[in-house]
Amino acid sequence: MPTSKPPKGRKTHKRKVPRNPTAPLSVSVSTETASPPRLLDRVRAAIRVRHFSVLTEKAYVGWIKRFIFFLTSVILMRWVRVRYPRTSPI
């Protein structure tokens, strides 16, 4: 039996870099006085290393931004409740 070849007209490709979600991220800092990369910059770098789509990168960063906003609003509401309790029960 002959070896199987892809049908004509269809392009097949193999991933050059396997996706490994546990791979350590290497982000270089150019100067010693520079601050370390921020969270969203590290997320973008990790997504680019894994060769995800640009739209996927935008979606992930958007989800993270919304999650951070949600957490900060919840923490702020709890702080206000503790700091300024209601004086009369409703």
Domain membership flag for residue 51: no
Q: How many independent structural domains does the chain possess?
A: 1
- DSSP reduced 3-state for 22: coil
Cβ-proximal residues to 19 (8 Å cutoff; 6+ apart), any chain = 50, 51
Q: How confident is the model at residue 76 (pLDDT cuts 50, 70, 90)?
A: confident
* Closest C-alpha among 67, 71, 70, 27 to residue 47: 27
The answer to whether 36 and 29 are in contact (CB under 8 A) is yes
Domain membership flag for residue 70: yes
Note down the domain range covering 72.
Answer: 61-85
The span from the CA of 87 to the CA of 53, in Å, is 53
Domain membership flag for residue 18: no
Tens-digit pLDDT profile for residues 43-56:
999 999 999 999 99
Tens-digit pLDDT profile for residues 6-61:
666 656 555 555 555 555 555 555 556 788 899 999 999 999 999 999 999 999 99
Domain membership flag for residue 72: yes
Q: 26 φ, ψ to 5°? A: -115, 105
Domain membership flag for residue 41: no
